[in-house]
Amino acid sequence: QQQVKQSPQSLIVQKGGISIINCAYENTAFDYFPWYQQFPGKGPALLIAIRPDVSEKKEGRFTISFNKSAKQFSLHIMDSQPGDSATYFCAASMTGGGADGLTFGKGTHLIIQP
Amino acid sequence: EPEVTQTPSHQVTQMGQEVILRCVPISNHLYFYWYRQILGQKVEFLVSFYNNEISEKSEIFDDQFSVERPDGSNFTLKIRSTKLEDSAMYFCASSVEGSHGYTFGSGTRLTVV
């Protein structure tokens, strides 16, 4: 019930295209859903996050879409660029104001072809 | 921009030896975490630390693991008797307000031989 399932495992997109990564969760107590970007040899870096009280959040070329009833959320990268090539992780946590750990998905290796 | 600093970047140790991984969180952060990532796999939560005590720990964080904030700036993860399966990238993270807005360090790659 703690799992976050992420797909696809790998994704190749042409420069300028839209990259879409999907995640699904089971635990309805999760109420914070961040996406992290990780480059080789680096730690994950927070990209964008959403709470279940909104269905969409946009920051620049990055958009999270959230479907509470389906318990799914997705990351859309518009106008994908070669510099976006990285591994992307979705995650979820129960905030509750405490030091809750994040449950990560297995990651998506994204390659943007020039 | 403030960073979470981890040392060493790479540590090789023999099975059964003790290792201490070190982290300097961002100075005004209150919550501290350790995660690990086995090569090619997902990032897994180990432990969170707040107000000088463990707040939450996962099943992975057994009696072989311990954490400490010895001097108000460093945050350490100790593995008492390393096993081959402890080989992984270990990430320290800190945040101001719980699980929101983590900043991760660049990690320590631990190789147990």
Checking if the pLDDT of B106 tops 90, the result is yes
Q: Tell me the pLDDT tens digit for each residue of B57-93.
A: 999 999 999 999 988 789 999 999 999 999 999 999 9
Determine the Cα–Cα distance for residues B112 and A60; give it in Å rounded to an integer.
42
Of chain A, the percentage scoring pLDDT greater than 70 comes to 93
- CA torsion B50-A97-A23-A3 (nearest 10°) is 60
Provide the terminal-to-terminal Cα distance of chain B, rounded to the nearest Å. Answer: 36
Q: Do B55 and A98 touch (CB under 8 A)?
A: yes
What was the pLDDT predicted at A97? 46
Residues A21-62 have pLDDT tens digits of 999 999 998 989 999 999 988 899 999 999 989 999 999 999
Under DSSP, the state recorded for A80 is: -
Q: A82 — phi, psi (to 5°)?
A: -55, -35
- Strand ranges for A33-85 from DSSP E: 33-38, 45-50, 56-59, 62-67, 72-77
Closest approach of A81 to chain B, Cα-based (Å): 23
The residue among B7, B102, B106, B108 with the most chain A CBs within 10 A of its CB, best to mutate, is B102
A40 touches chain B (CB under 8 A): no
pLDDT computed for residue B2 by the predictor: 82
Q: How confident is the model over A65-80, as pLDDT tens digits?
A: 999 999 999 999 999 9
